[in-house]
Amino acid sequence: MLANKRILLIIGGGIAAFKSLDLIRRLREQGANVVPVLTKAAEEFVTPLSASALAAEKVYRDLFDLTDEAEMGHIELSRAADLVVVAPATADLMGKMAGGLANDLASTLLMATDKPVMIVPAMNVKMWEHPATQRNLATLQTDGVRVVGPDEGPMACGEFGPGRMAEVPEIVDAVSAFLSDGPLKGRHILVTSGPTHEPIDPVRYIANRSSGAQGTALAEALRDLGANVTFVTGPAQVAPPEGVTVRKVETAGEMLAAVEAALPSDAAVFAAAVADWRVENASDQKMKKTEGAGLPALEFSENPDILKTVSQMTTGRPGLVVGFAAETNDVEANATAKRARKGCDWIVANDVSPETGIMGGSENKVSIVTADGVEDWPRLSKQETARRLAARIADALK
């Protein structure tokens, strides 16, 4: 399954490092070529000789090993792999990665690589739950790093909770899924999701009921087909997916800027519920209710239409542009007109009348409007809707 795949395995210094020796064996059983890198601390737990013997490869240990630099520089080493796996990823290694430090071979390789990175955290439960680790985790996820585990259970230190390194078969599965050649492999797809918040003053804003569930499910489904996904999200209720590049924004203006910065892409899907208007006279101080002063008069101006802007780009337009239409009446007619008005290729239309329970709910019932007409899909979970839509996109990009 992993034939001809090259994995750079960075082994951090933790008690779970012994599992990484088994990981080398299991990855090789699947046909992968594993090149181990040991941190100084890792050498306290496993020997370079065991890693090298199991991998049948040279083990890399020191940034300043001139022989290695002559054979293969650290830049080349970091890029010759299909995937960089960090297992165990200690709190220290995660901190270095999140902070951009490069003061030993492992951290330098992680900074220099242009390949996807997967981390398998392992540490004491209190260290895992520490706000600094959770901050670093969020930063790494935003940078597109894939995270496997940690599991929950009794730990070598005697405590119980999340922090145990994921078991080897789970890591092998994650690596195989990641490196499998899905139909969207090598494709860059942009997805917008969630609501936008348009400020009235520093504490108040205008928003809508979008949870971000459909956009998130779609980004996950596209990722699972092998796409490289950039996920531009407003302040959504559901957490952004792992293994995609996340760009968090608040307003429609910021969303447009993030979308433009993420282009070019092979396809772009606009699932965000963008506010149509912003408050032109938003106050930079909290508005007070002063007796006798009357009600505030909010002046609105129109937000940029991101879908329309991208659909009508004359150069660099994504090959496939998909918009969503949230309608409460005459869904098909409105969606067909919207497709023409915006200039996008497809509209995914849904009925968001309160009685459908779709907005904020777990199911969706959509119609796909294309140049060829309208296709009505059955009521499905948002995940299944996403999987079908992702497959449809993969088909269109063939």
Q: Which residues are catalytic?
A: 157
Report, in Å, the least distance between residue 249 CB and ligand CTP.
12
Q: Is 274 in the site for ligand CTP (CB under 6 A)?
A: yes
Quote the radius of gyration of the chain (alpha carbons, Å): 24
Residue type, 320: L
Instruction: Locate all alpha helices (DSSP H) within the chain, ordered by sequence.
Output: 17-29, 48-55, 66-71, 74-79, 91-99, 105-112, 125-129, 131-142, 168-179, 213-224, 252-262, 306-311, 331-342, 382-396
Q: Greatest CA span in the chain, whole angstroms? A: 83
Span 45-84, contacts to ligand CTP by CB under 6 A = none
Q: Is 105 in the site for ligand CTP (CB under 6 A)?
A: no
Q: At a CB cut-off of 8 Å and minimum separation 6, what does 192 contact?
A: 215, 232, 233, 255, 259, 268, 269, 270, 271, 272, 274, 306
Token pair 């942009």 is found at: 190
Report, in Å, the least distance between residue 232 CB and ligand CTP.
10
Report, in Å, the least distance between residue 130 CB and ligand CTP.
37
Residue 89, both tokens: 């990823």
Span 185-204, contacts to ligand CTP by CB under 6 A = 192
Q: Is 332 in the site for ligand CTP (CB under 6 A)?
A: no
Report, in Å, the least distance between residue 215 CB and ligand CTP.
9
Q: Is 219 in the site for ligand CTP (CB under 6 A)?
A: no
Q: Which of 183, 343 has the CB closer to ligand CTP? A: 343
Stretch that binds ligand CTP, among 75-83, 228-236, 271-279, 367-375 (CB under 6 A): 271-279
Sign of the dihedral defined by the CA atoms of residues 286, 291, 292, 295, in that order: positive
Q: Which of 42, 218 has the CB closer to ligand CTP? A: 218
Q: What are the b/e assignments for 367-395, b being 16+ CB within 10 Å?
A: bbbeeeebeebeeeebbbbbbbbbebbbe
Annotate each residue in 302-321 with x if it binds ligand CTP (CB under 6 A) or - if it does not, as one string: -x-xxx--------------
Report, in Å, the least distance between residue 236 CB and ligand CTP.
13
Q: Is 324 in the site for ligand CTP (CB under 6 A)?
A: yes
Binding site for ligand CTP (CB under 6 A): 192, 252, 270, 272, 274, 276, 303, 305-307, 323-326, 338
